[in-house]
Amino acid sequence: MPDLRRATLLLAAGLLAASALSAASLGAPILSTPASGTPALGGPALSAPTLGGSAPAAGPRLGRPATPAGIAAIDISIGADGAGLPKGSGSVAEGRVSFAARCLACHGEAGLGPDGGAVADRLTGGVGTIASPRPIRSVASYWPYAPPLFDYIRRAMPLDSPQSLSDDEVYGLVAYLLSVDGIVGRNARLDAKSLPRVAMPNRGGFVELIPRQFDGNLDRTIRDR
Amino acid sequence: MARTTGNGGEDERVAGGGLLHRRAFLATGALSMGALGTIARGGTPPASMAAPGGPLSGYGARASASDTIQRRLPARIDFPGTGSSRTPLDRLEGTITPNGLHFERHHNGIPDIDPLAHDVLVHGLVQRPLVFRYEDLLRYPMESRILFLECSGNSGALNAVKPAQVDAGRLNGLLSCAEWTGVRLSTLLDEAGLLPEARWVQAEGADASGHVRSIPLDLCLDDALIALFQNGEPIRPEQGFPMRLFLPGIEGNASVKWLRRLKLMAKPAYSREETSKYSDLLRDGRAELFSLRMGVKSVILKPSLGLDLRGPGYQEISGLAWTGRGRIRSVEVSADGGKSWAEAALTEPVLSKALTRFRIPWQWDGGPATLMSRATDETGATQPLRADWLAKYAPGQGYHNNSIQSWHVDAAGRVSHIYA
């Protein structure tokens, strides 16, 4: 198994390099100690048929094992099914207060965006207009799933201070925004269990291009001319 | 008047409006016209030869006369750090975009990242979640490819009811081409070991928008790179320093900059950028999701708006063509508004998923003319007419506009944008 032997040597070289890193750079919680990283060898390589083009060069295998705690600390993504939603909750009433304080200045009254004289995206209204000659795309009218709204607000909003909202505040904001168009009730409180159950009006409005190799371009073939 | 080789003159005309065969060229005439500079003055040597020149420098700067070549910035910026600047395509030649003129599209500013404190996590449906430090990636086998990058919102102004009277850079400058060097993404995925259920890769940036996209695993295993170098030097901060994902032929938004995390998943996350933003709304109210591949496209840059003709006679028409599916097979040019077409010469090498320069000589008779270009790629796909493109999509849908573009030349040589 010359490949394995070579990989072992390269891994050893990697561990040596790791031990020489400064304490500060190793301080990131994502890294486990290199000594615990023995399972890095022995896994099956990708089978050749799944690789397009030329096969990749075998790397020196310098990746360091990541700990579950380290991963949890930086993986802030939420699945469309709600996977990853944190503990906590927020109500429409609480969200209305947060919206006034943190969102209204850019997104306008009730999240009407430019249509309400504001500069940032429209978040509400327009439900039922998507197939009309004047489609109005808002969170309410267009988004297929509700949990990604939590994901986006938590990671990116407000623009001048992203990731500064608490999870409870984000739940509240989601509840408030969805309440404007009646997608959730006026007294709703959302959490990790209830948010994935919210039915978005345009859930069935999308066509995925997987069978067409992610190519939606309107190109004609020569024969069509 | 200009002469052409071969049988000369009229025999070289290959299409209406004065288009000449792509191999035709000027026999004489240009030298005497061009000899008006220092040589014509005679006598004393030019100043540049009469005194020592400037000193060495650690990082070169371009000629001061070129300082007017700038990225096209938006007229209005509501939120500094968001929006885009555009490559001034009409002021450049060849196919490679200088690093300082590569278009920008940011969602909340350019982060300032210490490369020695930056790493990228590969996790999710893998056998071994791994962390790769920037310094480690520099020790991996690298590959270099010349590749175009285009924002899927490029040329979105073609949606406007009236043709926008802006230059080719403002119209089409969310487009660049550079030599990108980095590590194959598949090398890192192989090292982490994919679990059988893995179908998608979520890529996330370390910027203030936490920019995130779900990318089909097939694309990641094909020719995707983690790019570390751009035209030979470490990639620029506005291009994702210290590292970015680079997906050849795929809409630019998915080539996540300031890459910090790659999560193997069974399904997409349907995050905001891939549903509410980068989806293509159709006339019937449905929207296409994950329309990632960039279509076949071309644009004439010379002449174009702002680069007026100085008089009748010989001109070179040139521009750029590209396709996300591979190589450009041919580019045809019309000088009579699409009534007749002639094949342009493609400057070698014609590379897969890179910009290709096309050129064709033109004998302009001084009358009004409408110039158009139409590219066909190696799959046989060719650009649609603007009307056909508009018929597919909902009003206001501006992504993936690869329809045929037109410039009008009036009798004074002025160039304007036109829908033909």
Going from N- to C-terminal start, the domains of chain A cover: 2-74, 89-197
| Highest mean pLDDT: which range of A202-211, B11-20, B195-204 | B195-204
Instruction: Say whether pLDDT at A39 is over 90.
Output: no
Instruction: Say whether pLDDT at A15 is over 60.
Output: no
Per DSSP (E only), the strands in B68-138 are 83-85, 104-106, 119-124, 130-133
Helix, strand or coil, per DSSP, at residue B295: coil
CB contact, 8 Å: B400 with chain A? yes
Test A65 with B291 for CB contact under 8 angstroms. Answer: no
pLDDT per position as a tens digit, B300-356: 999 999 999 999 999 999 999 999 999 999 999 999 999 999 999 999 999 999 999
Closest CA to B302 of B241, B260, B357, B246: B357
Q: Are residues B274 and B334 in the same domain?
A: no
Overall CATH class of domain A89-197: mainly alpha
Chain A residues within 8 A of B380 when measuring between CB atoms: 221-222
Give the whole-angstrom CA distance, residue A219 versus residue B392: 11
Q: Are residues B276 and B311 in the same domain?
A: no
Would you tell me which residues 193-252 of chain B have a C-beta closer than 8 angstroms to some C-beta of chain A? 193-194, 202, 204, 208-210, 212, 216, 218-219, 221-223, 250
Predicted local confidence at residue A40, as pLDDT? 32
CB contact, 8 Å: B310 with chain A? no
Q: Are residues B257 and B358 in the same domain?
A: no
Test B325 with A221 for CB contact under 8 angstroms. Answer: no
Give the whole-angstrom CA distance, residue B207 versus residue B241: 11
Give the whole-angstrom CA distance, residue A154 versus residue A164: 8
* Block residue for tokens 């109500």: A91
Q: Are residues B328 and B270 in the same domain?
A: no
Q: Are residues B111 and B215 in the same domain?
A: yes
State which of B269, B288, B307 marks the end of a domain. B288
Give the whole-angstrom CA distance, residue A205 versus residue A212: 18
Does residue B309 sit within a domain? yes
Q: Are residues B219 and B338 in the same domain?
A: no
How deeply is A200 buried, as exposed, middle or buried, from its count of CB atoms within 10 A (0-12, 13-18, 19+)? Answer: buried
Percent of chain B with pLDDT over 70: 93
A143, A189, B154, B328 from A202: Cα distances, Å: 6, 22, 27, 38
Q: Are residues B164 and B246 in the same domain?
A: yes
Q: In this structure, what is the dihedral angle of CA atoms A96, A98, A104, A105, given to the nearest 10 degrees?
A: 160
State which of B220, B255, B288 marks the end of a domain. B288
What are φ and ψ of residue B91, in 5° steps? -105, 5
Give the whole-angstrom CA distance, residue A88 versus residue B101: 46
Q: Are residues B280 and B313 in the same domain?
A: no
Q: Nearest residue on chain A to B81, judged by CA atoms?
A: A159
Which one of A41, A62, A138 makes the best mutation probe of the B interface by having the most chain B beta carbons within 10 Å? A62
Which one of B118, B137, B191 makes the best mutation probe of the A interface by having the most chain A beta carbons within 10 Å? B191
**What range does the domain containing B182 cover?**
104-288
Instruction: Say whether pLDDT at B277 is over 70.
Output: yes
Distance from CA of B116 to the nearest CA of A (A): 7
Q: Are residues B304 and B386 in the same domain?
A: yes
Does residue B51 sit within a domain? no
Test A80 with B270 for CB contact under 8 angstroms. Answer: yes
Q: Are residues B284 and B370 in the same domain?
A: no
Predicted local confidence at residue B124, as pLDDT? 98
pLDDT per position as a tens digit, B169-211: 999 999 999 999 999 999 999 999 999 999 999 999 999 999 9
Q: Are residues B283 and B321 in the same domain?
A: no
ipTM of the complex: 0.91
Distance from CA of B210 to the nearest CA of A (A): 6
Banded pLDDT at A218 (limits 50, 70, 90): confident
Q: Are residues B282 and B308 in the same domain?
A: no
- What is the domain-level CATH number for residue B387? 2.60.40.650
**B140, B191, B290 ranked by CB distance to A209: nearest:** B290
State which of B259, B288, B317 marks the end of a domain. B288
